[in-house]
Structure 1
Amino acid sequence: MHLSTLLLPLAAAAAVHASALTVQNARVTVSSDATQLLTEQLSLDGTLPSLSLGPTDTLKLTFQVAEKDGGKGVQPHQTFLRFESGGEEGVQPVRVTAGGKAKFELNMAKPPSSLPPTTTEPVKVQLLLGSFKHSPSKFDLFELTVPASAPPAQHPDEASFHPLPPIEHTFRPEQKVPPKFVSAVFSALVVAPWVVLLGLWSTLQYRVPHLFSPHILPFTSSLAAFEALLLWYWVDLKLGQVLLYGAILGVVTAVTGKQALGAAGDWRLGKR
């Protein structure tokens, strides 16, 4: 096997190692009301320091991004601070100069929106670096204890979005149907006048030859139409429709009734 083929993986590994990024001169300062409370040089290889901030304290972080071997300052394409606490996380972009220097301030009086909701559990702070020419890097900076987040203020319309109790419908009890015997009795009473009328017609049609006269039959038919209208109303029609159709039938009944009375008077006087 050719020697260059054997050295190719080693050369690639060396190039990747040479293109790694590191952080130099990382320092954190805590102050309150223009009074410096703490300043500490960060060592990225040892145990993470634990810092604490009060409600009005300000944390200032400064560092420089450089190549791991050459020590030359580098401006990464992406630089972020990652805050993680209790399963919640937030990412804050950090501006880095062309020489690799960066500065970030965390004012607890006005915390950034990237800081996740906090409890008594410390917030782990990491630095994330991304570059097209260098390998991505991640550094654990420190653990930060901050005051617990206050509950969010209640929105005026919050109650409108709460689940409402289920709507319970109260249905009317089923309509009670009268006994069949009572229904049959009243049906017979309704039909009885027509039975009597037909019976009278069958006995008087030979004595009174004018019952089926064109002057009498329209009036009788209008009366039958009224009965049919009431039956239709009971089955399907509404009250407004019954009043409309009844008014039309009323006019027809009045006209045919007047004509029938006139014809009956003429027959009695012998004019017809």
Structure 2
Amino acid sequence: MHLLSFPLWLLLSIAGVQASVLTLQSPRFTISSSNAEQLRSEPLSLTKKPKPLTLGASDVLKLTFQVVDKEESKGVQPHQTFLRFYDEVTGEEGIQPVRVTSGGKAKFELNMARPPASIPPTTATTPLKVELIIGSFVHSPLKVDLFDLLLPESQPAPQHPDEASFHPLPPIHHTFQPEQKLPPRIISAVSALLVLSPWVVLLGLWGYISPSVPYLLSPNVLPFITTLGAFEGLLVWYWIDLKLGQVLLYGGILGLVTALAGRQALATKSDLRTARK
């Protein structure tokens, strides 16, 4: 029984630590001018925001508070503490870390003569919503809506020397040459006849000479002649539809077949000549 109660006590202790809640003690803000004259100083409530705070171009805002454990009222140094400046109109926000001592005491100062870069762009009429966000490993997170802050209007950003290069350029209107006109049909017909005329001459001379080719259609020679004709057909196919890569592939396969068929044809021709002797 005693052994079982120890893990239960340990779990309850861990749950109790995780349920610990943080709160703020003595939160207060002070607004002073550049010559250290105090303009406004009020304590802050965790449930009700004060009237909007207004800072001039050289005013200083000081915020002080202490982070404590709500149950033990003991100062706690959280893991993360920062202020969030949020513009509800534009959606711009800025995060400013806040240093907290080991005793939980924190002090933040905003000098408008040298504002931090984390402050978002502001206008003279739209306040920034200032929130305090605290995170801890052993406590529940804390988020407090502190106050609304009116700051002087931000100065426009200086123009970058290369800014003009990033503006849209006038649209580019492409001009194309008119479509090439086809030559007259008579010229196309004459050109076709000139291309085919060597074949006409070749066939005419072939018929005039009447060479004797008794073995042209023999089973050992005809495959070689057929593969040569296939090469001509491949070139015509390439001119009509094929791509260069396809021609090289088909030509390589056809070339291997042609080489084997040619070797067989030459061997047959050699045997015939040897038999005549």
- Secondary structure, counterpart of 1:15 in structure 2: helix
Q: Which residue of 2 aligns with 1:99?
A: 103
Specify the alignment match of 2:83 in structure 1: 81
For normalisation by structure 2, the TM-score amounts to 0.58
Give the corresponding residue for 2:33.
32
Q: Separation in 2 of the partners of 1:14 and 1:48?
A: 36
What is the alpha-carbon distance in structure 2 between the residues aligned to residue 169 and residue 162 of structure 1?
21
Q: How far does residue 16 in structure 1 lie from its aligned partner after superposition?
A: 5.8
Mapping of residues 121-160 of structure 1, within 5 Å: 121-160=126-165
Alignment-mate amino acid for residue 156 of structure 2: P
Output the amino acid matched with 2:31.
Answer: V
- Residue 164 of structure 2 aligns to a residue whose secondary structure is helix
Distance 1:128 1:33 in 2: 29
Q: Which residue in 1 is equivalent to 2:243?
A: none
Between 72-81 and 172-181, report the one with greater CA deviation: 172-181
DSSP 3-state at the match of 2:56: coil
Determine the structure 2 residue equivalent to 1:263: none
Structure 1 regions of 5+ residues with no counterpart? 192-272
Look up the equivalent residue of 1:107 and give its one-letter code: N
Structure 2 unmatched runs, 5+: 195-277
Query: 1:202 — aligned with what?
Result: none
Structure 1 CA distance for aligned equivalents of residues 48 and 182 of structure 2: 91
Match for 2:55 among 53, 56, 64?
53
* Root mean square deviation of aligned Cα: 2.9
What's the CA shift for 1:152?
Answer: 1.4
Deviations 1:178-203 (A, max 9, x none): 6556x59x99xxx9xxxxxxxxxxxx
Question: Contact between 2:18 and 2:138, CA under 8 Å: does it hold in 1?
Answer: no
SS in 2 for 1:160: helix
Matches within 5 A, 1:1-272: 15=16, 19-34=20-35, 35-85=37-87, 86=89, 87-119=91-123, 120-176=125-181, 179=184
Distance 1:139 1:12 in 2: 27
Taking only the aligned residue pairs, the percentage that are identical comes to 64
Contact 1:18/1:68, CA 8 A, preserved across alignment:
no
CA distance in 1, matches of 2:131, 2:14: 26
TM-score, structure 1 normalization? 0.59
Give how far 1:160 is off.
0.7
- Any conservation in 2 of the 1:16–1:135 contact (CA below 8 Å)? no
Q: Distance in 2 between matches of 1:18 and 1:168?
A: 69
Please tell me whether the aligned partners of residues 49 and 146 of structure 2 are also in contact (alpha carbons under 8 angstroms): no
Q: 1:33-92: CA deviations, max 9, x gaps?
A: 122211111111223431001111111111111111221111001101111112211111
